[in-house]
Structure 1
């Protein structure tokens, strides 16, 4: 289970963008988080993925409280998550070939020997040819780069997937293909999913439950705003 309890977070402690939000995702389940741009849902997704430390509140992953974010969290907790962001060009090192981009988490965790086999298997799964794997981000389309970013998110076989508007910049056919990859992975692994977006039709079709941002339990500020 992934439990976010009374999370307050932002980038300026004086002006948090998330206030007192709680959200629970059961093991193996898929929850969609629906809300307009700028409401704070991406910040909450980063907190859930252990990429941003909240100003207050708690995150519990599979029964274990999280004590920090990024490198301050335990390796077991960090590697339990695979994350796909909305804008692949901001999430990819422009100097890396796609094959190195996908293998990056394996190398970071000392599993270099697994890289070649894992990259080949995942490339086929997400629809990337061997020729595309040798290219750098500026040499491929947004859809092809997002396929590589999804492969990177799956390479450590995470127990939890956080997809933050993963399909927002993609055409309909590519979006459907990547959602299918995520669902195939979840079916075989039992991974849980938090899918963030503003397309209710997509989230309702994709997820077991769709939660609207303004329906989450929010604490009002002392001023009542």
Structure 2
């Protein structure tokens, strides 16, 4: 179980982006978090991924309270969560090839010997050719780079997968194949999924259940985030 309870978080303690938000995901369950841009979905996703320490509230991962964040979290905790960020160009080192981007987590955790097999397995699954794997981020499209970031998120076989607007950088025709990669991984591994987005149809297609931002954030929902989604 991944449980977030009464999370308050943001980038300025005087004006939190998220106030008292609660959300739970069972092992093997896929949950969509639906809401407009600016409502705090991405911040909550970063808390769930152990990448952002909240000001208040608790996170329980696999039955144990989380007390360390980012590099302060034990390696077993960090590697239990795979993340696909909303903006791949901010999440990828521009000096690395797509092959090296996919392999980063393996190299960082001392599993270099697994690099050839895992890259060879994941690249075709996400739609990357051998020729594309040798290119750097500035030599590929946003969608191609996002495919590499998806493969990177899966390379350590995480128990939990967090996708923040994963399809924002993909052409509409590629949504089903990318969603199929995630769904196939979930079926094989039993991983839980938190999919953050503003497209209700897409989230409901992917997920076992979809939670609206007001339902999740409750009375702490930011009142200004009431414009059109996008």
Runs of 4 or more consecutive aligned structure 1 residues displaced over 2 Å after TM superposition: 217-221
How far off its partner does 1:14 sit? 0.8
Distance in 1 between the 2:100 and 2:55 partners? 34
How far off its partner does 1:168 sit? 1.4
Question: Partner of 2:130 in structure 1?
Answer: 130
For structure 1, the 5+ residue unaligned runs are none
Aligned length: 221
- Does residue 18 of structure 2 align to residue 15 of structure 1? no
Question: Partner of 1:158 in structure 2?
Answer: 158
Distance in 2 between the 1:219 and 1:35 partners? 15
How far off its partner does 1:124 sit? 1.5
- Does residue 110 of structure 2 align to residue 110 of structure 1? yes
**CA distances 1:163-198 after superposition (whole Å, capped 9, x unpaired):** 000001221122221111000100100000000000
SS in 1 for 2:68: coil
> Normalized against structure 1, the TM-score is what?
0.96
How far off its partner does 1:104 sit? 0.1
Question: Partner of 2:37 in structure 1?
Answer: 37
**CA distances 1:23-79 after superposition (whole Å, capped 9, x unpaired):** 000110000000000000100000000000000111111101111210111111100
Question: Which is further off, 135-144 or 168-177?
Answer: 168-177
1:136-175 pair list within 5 angstroms: 136-175=136-175
SS in 1 for 2:168: coil
Distance in 2 between the 1:46 and 1:159 partners? 16
> Normalized against structure 2, the TM-score is what?
0.94
Root mean square deviation of aligned Cα: 1.1
Q: Is the 8 A contact 2:18 2:220 kept in 1?
A: no
1:1-225 pair list within 5 angstroms: 1-220=1-220
Question: Which is further off, 212-221 or 159-168?
Answer: 212-221
Q: Is the 8 A contact 2:146 2:169 kept in 1?
A: no
